Structure 1
Amino acid sequence: MTTSTTTHTRSTDRIAQAFAVAGALLVAAGIALSLGHLLAAGETLRWIGIACLLIFSIRKPSLMTWTFFAMVAGVELGIDAPHIAAQARLPGDLFLRLVRMIVAPLLFATITTGIAGHNELRSVGRVAIKALILFEVVTTLGLMIGVVAMNLSGAGWGISIPEALGGTAPAAQAPQTWQQIVLNLFPDNIAQAVAQNQILQVAIFSILFGAALAMLPDEKRAPLVRVLQSLADVMFQLTRFIMYLAPLAAGAAIAYTVGNTGLATLLPLAKLVGTYYIALAAFVLLVMVPVLALFRVPLRGFLSAVGEPAAIGFATTTSEAALPLAMERMEEFGVPRWIVSFVIPTGYSFNMTGGSVYLSMAAVFVAQAAGIHLTFGRELAVVLVLMAASKGIAGVPRASLVVLLATASAVHLPTAPILLILGVDTLMDMGRTMMNVVGNCMAAAVIGRTEGAIPVS
């Protein structure tokens, strides 16, 4: 009976996977035909593909499969009914607001109970040093891969810059000094940090609060630790409720993007977008997989744990939207809660893996579009500036744009070509956000492994 059931399950899985592959291929073919002005044939193929993906989602229901289906359906809505899709912001905005609502109490409760409730005060400094070293190494490798990818692609050469863009770039902001970066880690008002959703400042306050609580006698510490532990459990339960909205929010976000920009906007800069996603794939294969293998993190289990948060980050283009689910999944993976609660929020400012690839690529693209041949020395200067300028800016709106403008100013590049990138920035922001989420989860898994928390695969 067991053998028969197992065989039937495998057969069902293969059928479901066949529907998924067929659906994805048909949707891609339909989009290609539509871009080639074969509208009727393209629409037919897309709807058949969506039907196949719906069957797959029903046969293999999960948050990730339904999120993926909703994203594809959102693309179709954006293509077929752009006027409706352009008004579809409410589900995504509501989802993000609900997530922001729980982030601060979730971080406060998990970090504090991790330090004070499990006597991990002595381990915080060690984990912080490991995290910062890992962040710097990984993001520097990402910067290098971005430079190499753009040099090989040459996507910026031959791009014409409209005269209307000349002189219209926003003013560049000076990179933060290291003193400013350190100072901005600490809130001067915790209520203001919560209100402004300064994740890292909330995390720093929670670490200090947890350290102070850990130093109290047990009879004074225990009652508050129990309350905070209950608060953490409630926040994780609330996260599960909110995540039911994730597929709808993802579909609405994709529909809004396609409805407002249209797929045709991708064509003039398709080589840039394609280069970026190829560079991300190279980053995964050349950096992430070797790092996971070096620290003997179970690869299959990690991919399973990170899939859903990555999908939410990709669809919403907001790392913050994936934060609570990423923390929950990595804790289920085996990383202690106090490590997860410290490493992932810290990574939001210091471990922008997807952003590092993007920034170095974009800087070289700007030079190429302006007809400037960068020497090795100037490319090295770009990397060095980005290593410093990209830290500690997660709370700034359009943070990547701020860093890119500052870098262009520092290495004497024109700013007008940056406006060309903004035309397809949302399309690249999907991959950028997804990679940031995966990179922070990888950091938590690696550091958890070095602390002996995750069994060897």
Structure 2
Amino acid sequence: MSSTTKKPLYKDLTFQVLAAMLLGIAFGFIAPEVAASFKILGDIFLKLIKTAVAPLVFFTVVHGIASAGDIKRVGKVGWRALVYFEVLSTAALALGLLWGNLIGIGSGMHGAHASSAASAAASAAVAKGHAPTSTMDFIYNIFPDNFVGAFAGGQLLQVLVIAVLFGFALLALKHERRQVIEDGLNRVSECFFEFINLIMKFAPLGAFGSVAYAVGSNGSAVLMSLANLVLMFYVAIAFFLFVILGTVCRLSGFSFWRFLKYIKDEIFIVLGTASSESALPRLLQKLERLGCSKQSVGLVLPTGYAFNLDGTSIYMSMCVLFIANAYGVPLGWEQQLGILAIMLVTSKGAAAVSGGSFVVFAATVTAIGVLPIEGLALLFGVYRFMSMAMAACNTIGNSVATVVVAKWSGEFTEQTAREEYARVLGRPAGAAL
């Protein structure tokens, strides 16, 4: 047995986060007004995490490209990853539309009105401020006009573009010069990981504050009024994870259940903070220890956080149908397929931070032009509870994608994975993956 399994339960991060979430739920119901003010704990934790995410993405992508040694090796991993992302994202969007149509999501709420005029106005303002005008504008905005501005604004897509170009520029240097720069970037990256490890000690506080605020500010009345949407969304997420991703894992030669056990700490952190970014730094290290090559982890995982948001895709497609049905707006299959095409583009711009998916969804509703903006306020009350499952699905989906693409590309060492499972899960070193 490893020393990790022998430490007291109260020192385990998973236990701490889970306990903090349960305390936050109880506190939210007992003292809702006071609990709502604890939102600041979750906000501070996410802000601290966000300070390191963009630099970490930059360093890992650059190092992933540089460690590949040649452009052909980068391309081998890169094109497989992009094909995988597009197929899985489309499957997630289609699942949301099919499930929403099958159960008639929101159809029992004809003539719904926004619960708060202020919320509706705020949602409309958010949508207007972030509405994509066209696919070409979206593509244009991926490319930064300022190196530092992309990092300062937390623009993950722009940071990825900079990192890819910088990585290829590094490959163009002679080996001796490149080695010096790589060593420097490696040392700075290690420092950022230690910075993140220090911040993660505050994860239970962040989870407590976030959950207490969600329960305290919404109350049971709002939760009950939209309970069907939340429940059906969780069913769709579960189906995607255990049926679709489970099948992908089986076809790729490893167990989805064992993999979930391996990354359970990160999943609970994401559930507590409702942000998939909160687990990114730890996953970058963990997946490399599992046997994925440094270049595959550095390329696939950060890129997936921009291009492979499966939970966000399911959320967007189901909620579009919910608003349409709640307000009695008929959407034919042709319109739904057109909306799916729009969401294939807009979902790629969804920020991985908490709340980013709602911003993108609001922008998508505006871009569609046939749905009432007031419907956004109807959904905002339960967004927090849906975002927990959404962020967890995004995180699991990208973690699975990294292993699958690494295996497809010959960048995965199975013996290393068996030894890591033996160390962390207590399994025999020769057991199947």
1:399 to partner: Cα distance:
4.1
Which amino acid in 2 is paired with 1:252?
G
Contact 2:63–2:298 (CA under 8 A) maintained in structure 1: no
Q: Distance in 1 between matches of 2:21 and 2:232?
A: 22
Contact 1:200 1:345 in 2 (8 A): no
Equivalent pair of 2:150/2:158 in contact (CA under 8 Å):
yes
Render the CA deviation track for 1:136-188: whole Å, top value 9, x for unaligned.
Answer: 11111111211222223223122141377788561655535343333333322
Aligned partners of 1:359 and 1:404 also within 8 Å:
no
Deviation at 1:337, TM superposition (A): 2.5
- From 146, 155, 160, the equivalent of 1:198 is 155
CA distance in 1, matches of 2:91, 2:286: 26
Residue number among 183, 188, 199 corresponding to 1:226 in the alignment: 183
Q: CA deviation at 1:60?
A: 7.2
The 1:163–1:249 alpha-carbon spacing in structure 2 relative to 1, beyond 3 Å, is: closer
Paired position in structure 1 for 2:124:
170
C-alpha distance after superposition, 1:22-53 (max 9, x if no partner): xxxxxxxxxxxxxxxxxxxxxxxxxxxxxxxx
| TM superposition score normalised by structure 1 | 0.80
Is the CA contact (8 Å cut-off) linking 1:301 and 1:333 kept in structure 2? no
Distance 1:385 1:268 in 2: 29
Taking a change above 3 Å as real, the CA distance of residues 76 and 188 of structure 1, as seen in their structure-2 partners, is: same
Matched, 1:291 2:248: yes
The residue type paired with residue 14 of structure 2 is M
String of CA shifts for 1:266-303, please: whole Å, max 9, x gaps: 11111111111011111113311111112223434421
Q: Which residue of the partner structure matches residue 453 of structure 1?
A: 411
Query: Contact conserved, 1:382 with 1:407, CA < 8 A, in 2?
Result: no
More deviation in 394-403 or 432-441?
394-403
Root-mean-square deviation over aligned CA pairs: 2.8
**Unaligned stretches of 5+ in structure 2?**
415-432
**Count of residue correspondences:** 405
User: Greater CA deviation, 411-420 or 149-158?
Assistant: 411-420
Give yes or no for the alignment of 1:423 onto 2:374.
no
Tell which deviates more after alignment, 152-161 or 140-149. Answer: 152-161
8 Å contact kept, 2:113–2:378:
no
Separation of aligned partners in 2, 1:164 and 1:251:
27
TM-score of the two chains, using structure 2 as the length reference: 0.85
1:386-425 aligned within 5 A: 386-394=343-351, 398-407=356-365, 410=368, 412-425=370-383
CA shift digits 1:395-422 (9 cap, x unpaired): 8964434435534653623333332112
The answer to which of 288-297 and 402-411 deviates more is 402-411
Match of 1:384 among 325, 331, 341: 341
Q: Is the 8 A contact 2:276 2:352 kept in 1?
A: no
Correspondence 1:77 to 2:77: no
Q: Describe the shift of the 1:226–1:156 C-alpha distance in structure 2 as closer, same or farther (beyond 3 A).
A: same
Give CA deviations for 1:317-360 in whole Å, capped at 9, x if unaligned. Answer: 22222221222222222222222222222222221100111111
Q: 1:352 touches 1:439 (CA, 8 Å); kept in 2? A: yes
Task: Measure, in 2, the Cα distance between the counterparts of 1:355 and 1:119.
Answer: 34
- How does 1:324-335 map onto structure 2 within 5 Å? 324-335=281-292
| Residues 1:422 and 1:123: Cα distance change in structure 2 (over 3 Å) | same
Query: Is the Cα contact below 8 Å between 1:70 and 1:250 reproduced in 2?
Result: yes
Q: Is the 8 A contact 2:292 2:413 kept in 1?
A: no
Partner of 2:295: 338
Q: Cα distance 1:411–1:382, how it changes in 2: closer, same or farther (>3 A)?
A: farther
**Residue in structure 1 matched with residue 423 of structure 2 by the alignment:** none
Percent identity, please.
Answer: 34
- 2:226 and 2:372 map into 1 onto residues whose CA distance is 18
Q: 1:199/1:82 Cα in 2 relative to 1: closer, same or farther (>3 Å)?
A: same
Query: Does residue 101 of the first structure (1) align with residue 59 of the second (2)?
Result: no
How far apart in 1 are the matches of 2:30 and 2:8?
24
2:253 maps to 1:253? no
In structure 2, distance between residues paired with 1:413 and 1:185: 27
- TM alignment of 1:349-364, pairs within 5 A: 349-364=306-321
Q: Is 1:239 aligned to 2:196, yes or no?
A: yes
Q: Cα–Cα, structure 1 residues 380 and 118, in superposed 2: closer, same or farther, change >3 Å?
A: closer
In structure 1, the residue matched to 2:77 is 127
**Contact persistence 1:96–1:321 (CA under 8 A):** yes
Aligned counterpart for 2:304 among listed residues 343, 347, 362: 347
> 1:144 is matched with which residue?
94
Q: In 2, Cα distance between the equivalents of 1:301 and 1:333? A: 12
Q: Which of the pair has more CA radius of gyration? A: 1
CA distance, structure 2, for counterparts of residue 197 and residue 368 of structure 1: 35
Greater relative contact order: 1 or 2 (C-alpha under 8 angstroms, separation 6 or more)? 2
Q: 1:161 and 2:115 equivalent?
A: no
Q: 2 CA distance for matches of 1:184 and 1:409? A: 16
Residues 307 and 348 of structure 2 are in contact (CA less than 8 Å); yes or no, is this contact kept in structure 1?
A: yes
Q: Confirm or deny: 8 A CA contact 2:95 2:314 kept in the other structure.
A: yes
